[in-house]
Each structure stands twice: as structure tokens, then as C-alpha cells.
Copies of this chain bind each other. A is one copy, B any other.
Amino acid sequence: MMSTPSEPRTLSEIGEFGLINRIASHLAMPPSVSVGPGDDAAVFLVNGSAVITVDLMIEGHDFRRDWSSPADVGHKAVASSVADIESMGATPTIMVIGLGAPASLEYVWVKEFMTGVREEADLAGVALVGGDLATAQQIAISVTVVGETAGRTPVLRSGARPGQVVAVRGRLGWASAGLAALARGFRSPRAAVDSQRAPKVPYGAGREAADAGASAMIDVSDGLLADLRHIADASGVGIDLEAARFQIAEPVAVVAAALHINPLSFVLTGGEDHAMAATFDPGRVPADWDVVGLVVEADAELGPLVLVDGHAWEGEQGWTHFR
């Protein structure tokens, strides 16, 4: 075996090309990728129809280094971008990452960030095929993910029809409850705080919904009410949720009780969990999705509204991003 050279301490010590070589040497490429990192661009095969999305995360606005480990940030960056491919009912395949960072950033931060990226990429079934590095005051991360429709019709926001049901799969309110705890100096309940640091995206749920004939779908990044409003707007419908249908997860209930907040506020307005929300014909909802409401006609005067038990939600708002 060759001896291991001593590790560089900062990005400026290792340099751009040294860092790229170290990152690229850890990556395995799937058969569909004929050229991976290291050339001007990567080359990959697509089955004809492709899906693409980009997500940008900025230190201090989308994550904090004192709240999240480097690996958490890597997990979150990949998960939040892949969720947009999942919510089209598509199969994520490859991604490229842009990383802006101070030259003084410790090399070990980037190394552990990349460990999180690789772990989440494995969970999501996506391959990192390329990237770019730049010098920046704050850490800035862009993740672009490409997916294949794999024969499915992409599920847009615009297909919801009155008479259909609204269903969700994945966590709701966990990340925002975790944020509320962190913001008050707590590091528990651990499950909620961990959800804020890195969401648990229900990978595969989007394809499952597409196969079941979902008519509209979105991933919950800004909060269920806000994101369902996008479906209502795009589809020209109203949505009426039924409060009693939502199960309050224990970590969410614990934070809500400690802060004297209605736990439904976290569930309905909390972002960053990247649960899937979709509309289906009644009786066609996949087994592991929860029906939480109905698609109705848009209000004759007010247009496409999202209501809870027939009324506008008047609880706490804004448990979304900490930006």
C-alpha cells in the first residue's frame, strides 16, 4: 500500500483540482454514465424524456453550520433537490453539484459534506457525475438533478379535479418543529431536530403515486397549505382539508406542547420535510398514503383556496424556512 500523505487542512491548501480529484476518486458510476467527473462535461444516457430541477442552498439562510453537521448539509442538499424529481413521478438518475466556499474552509468539512452527499445519493438512487467549485464568503450549494420519466406521464401541478381526494406520504411538521426547538436553544426532541438538519424524503413515493394515476403532485417544501395552494392555482380548483385526518407525530406534539402552539400549525405550515402531496381519484390512493382532504370547486369569488374544515387556516403561520 502507498503511504497516505498528510491531509490538507483548508480548501486553499488543497486547491481546486486537488479537491476535485479527491472527490471524484470516491465516486462509482452506473452503466448509463459513459463519462463521469473530470472532463468538461459528463455524458449519460436518457430514455428519451427527461426531467430536470435545480435547488440552491445558502449557509445562514438554508442551513447553519452550528446547527447541522457537514454530512447533514450534504444529505439535505441532495434530498431537497431529488424530491422535486420524485414529485413529478420520475426516476432520479444523475446530478451535478456546484459548491462555493471560503478558501479558509476546513477540508474536513467538505470531506464530510461529500460523505453526506454520497449517502443520500445512494438512498435516492442518483449518481454524482460532475460539479464546479468556486470561492465565496458563505457556503453556497447548487444541486441539479436529472431524472427519467421511464414511460410514466409526468405528474404536474395542474391536473387536480373536483371530486378527487388529497393524500400525503412522508413527514409533515417534523422539520419545522425541529427548527422551533433549535431556534430556542434546544437540541431535542432528537427526531424533530434531525428532520430539520436533513429531511427523510419518501423516495419512490412519487413513482408509486404516478403508477396509481395521481392527477397532480408536489413535494412539501414550503408547507402543506402553501404547496397545495400551488396545486389549487395551477389546477383552478379548491382544496378542503380535514383536520381530524392528520396524525400528529410524537416529536411534533412534544415541541408544540412545550411551546404552547397548536401542533397542526407545524403540520399544515411547516416546510422542509419534502413529504409528497398528491391528488387521486377516490379508491385509487396507494396503501401507504394518507387521505387528508378533498378537491372541490374553486370559490366563485375568491378563486382557488386551500381550506381546513371549510375555513381559512387561522393558526400560527410561517413555520417554514428559517430564512
A interface with B by C-beta (< 8 Å): 34-35, 38-46, 48-58, 60-62, 84-85, 87-88, 90, 94, 96-100, 129-138, 140, 142, 144, 146-147, 149, 154, 156-158, 217-219, 234, 323
Contact = CB atoms under 8 A, between A and B. Distances in A.
Given A134-B61, A137-B137, A142 B54 contact: yes
A158 B39 CA distance: 9
Contacts of A134: 56-58, 61-62, 323
Contacts of A323: 134-135
A224 to B, nearest CB: 15
Nearest to A142: B142
Contacts of A53: 40-42, 96, 130, 132
Contact of A40 (B45, B56, B144, B219): B219
A61 to B, nearest CB: 5
Contacts of A49: 34, 43-46
13 contacts: A40-B53, A40-B217, A41-B52, A41-B90, A44-B50, A45-B49, A52-B94, A56-B140, A58-B135, A58-B140, A61-B136, A98-B98, A142-B144
B56 A98 contact: yes
Nearest to A17: B230
A200 B57 CA distance: 30
**Most chain B CB atoms below 10 A, which of A49, A50, A57:** A50
Contacts of A94: 52
A87 B41 CA distance: 8
B140 A39 contact: no
Nearest to A60: B137
Contacts of A44: 49-50, 52
A100 B56 contact: yes
Nearest first, the 3 A-B pairs at minimum CB distance are A142-B142, A56-B98, A41-B53
Given A53-B130, A56-B100, A61 B135 contact: yes
Nearest to A148: B46
Contact of A54 (B43, B130, B219): B130
Contact of A52 (B38, B56, B88, B130): B130
B138 A56 contact: no
A88 B61 CA distance: 36
Nearest to A147: B41
A55 to B, nearest CB: 5
Given A43-B50, A142-B144, 19 more contacts: A34-B49, A35-B154, A38-B157, A40-B218, A41-B53, A41-B85, A41-B88, A41-B147, A42-B53, A44-B50, A53-B130, A53-B132, A56-B100, A58-B135, A61-B134, A98-B142, A138-B138, A142-B142, A144-B144
